[in-house]
Amino acid sequence: MVGTIVASIIIFGLLIFVHELGHFIVARLTGIRVLEFAIGFGKELIGWEKGDTRYTLRIFPLGGFCKMLGEDAEDAVTEGSFQEKPVLHRLAVIGAGSFMNFILAALLFALLYFFFLGVPQAGTTEIGQIIEGGPAEQAGIQPGDTVVAINDVETNKWEDVVSIINTHPEREIELTLLREGAYVTTSVVPRDDNGRGLIGIAPAMKKHAFFSSIFLGFSYTWYLIQLIFVSLFQMITGTIPADVAGPVGIVAVVGEVMQEGLSNLISLAAIISVNLGIINLLPIPALDGSRMVFLVLEGIRGKPVDPQKEGFIHFIGFTLLILLMIFVAFQDISRLVF
């Protein structure tokens, strides 16, 4: 239990810290004065000043915050304040938090590919893994076999292998394999998976491939971003049931994933980071997305929205958000207890 709590604190703390770091970096780059950059919340434990910014370490290590001069809409506009900067600069500052969450996710996925999973060797046709109980295993195909040809059609890269197998669901195909210097021929019938043929093989993987791991990390993060947006749309339209987990539910998941190894924990942290980035971009009052909407309106109108009205909307949104979090936490606890 202690290990689960520590791991959860580290994950939550890292994700929120990186989010606030994004705001901090872009604020400094655009000339906005940062009054305080804090790691953690609550009572200050350690603090020091450098330039115009105070850096603090606080008692509760769950994330942090970046306090900028003139950040609130009702604050006076002074030199170096958030309100004094052009709309595009302010949009960049607000959006930088989510952007950093996406970057962190990509780097965590890249770490997984580099150290734990390896990078698929798409330029070869060597089989790296056989799925247990699949058609390939039943046909006697072994890890390390190289697919030379399928149905007498030469295969030079993994894409060739996948393409031919996918187009032959429930139809027998003949594979010519190179095994320990000798050619072996075997027949297999791909099973039908929504119109695609699959035989249960995976390509050879190579660990410690730096650039390939980075590329795959960013590619998978982009795929995940699109998938989450599609899922959110489907939940809103009722196509799929809404299934939301709050901090309590996430802690429970962290506890389960910890038992499966460090690689799964890193993967979970990356997935949560993408979710955090997306949620903050949604136009929900009190979140970054809502503030970006007001900035876009200001850019269109040529003048800001009434600060009191904007503040009231954010207050209402924040109140509803807290109520939603309490409801989700209750749901999480109900799943765990009952």
Under DSSP, the state recorded for 170 is T
DSSP 190: P
Residue-wise pLDDT for 81-108, tens only, equals 998 999 999 999 999 999 999 999 999 9
Cα 170 from Cα 242, distance rounded (Å): 36
Among 20, 84, 132, 137, the active-site one is 20
**234-251 pLDDT, tens per residue?**
777 767 665 555 454 444
The DSSP line for 93-124 is HHHHHHHHHHHHHHHHHHHIIIIII-EE-TTS
Q: How far apart are CA 77 and CA 92, in angstroms?
A: 19
Q: Do residues 332 and 278 both lie within one domain?
A: yes
Buried b (16+ CB within 10 A) or exposed e, 71-82: bebeeeeeeebb
Confidence at residue 33, expressed as pLDDT on a 0 to 100 scale:
95
- Are 258 and 220 part of one and the same domain? yes
Under the banding of pLDDT at 50, 70 and 90, the label for residue 313 is confident
Residue 172: active-site member: no
Q: pLDDT tens for residues 169-215? A: 999 999 999 999 999 999 999 999 999 999 999 999 989 999 999 99
Full domain range(s) for residue 268: 2-118+210-337
Going by C-alpha positions, the residue among 267, 277, 254 that lies closest to residue 110 is 267
Same domain? 146 vs 109: no
Residues 133, 113 share a domain: no
* pLDDT at 305 (0 to 100): 82
Contacts of 48-57 spanning 24+ positions with Cβ under 8 A: 52/80
Q: Mark whether 220 and 89 lie in a shared domain.
A: yes
Amino acid at the residue 59: I
* Rounded mean pLDDT, 316-328: 61
Q: What are phi and psi of 181, to 5 degrees?
A: 85, -5
Among residues 182, 206, 230, which one ends one of the domains? 206
CATH code of 188's domain: 2.30.42.10
Any residues with CB less than 8 A from the CB of 173 and at least 6 apart, and which?
150, 151, 164, 165, 187, 188, 189, 190, 197
pLDDT at 332 over 50: no
Q: How many domains does the chain contain in total? A: 2
Is the pTM higher than 0.75? The answer reads: yes
Query: Quick one: 12 and 65 in the same domain?
Result: yes
State whether 258 and 202 are in the same domain.
no
Contact 291, 317 (CB under 8 A): no
Q: What does residue 317 show for φ and ψ, rounded to 5 degrees?
A: -60, -40
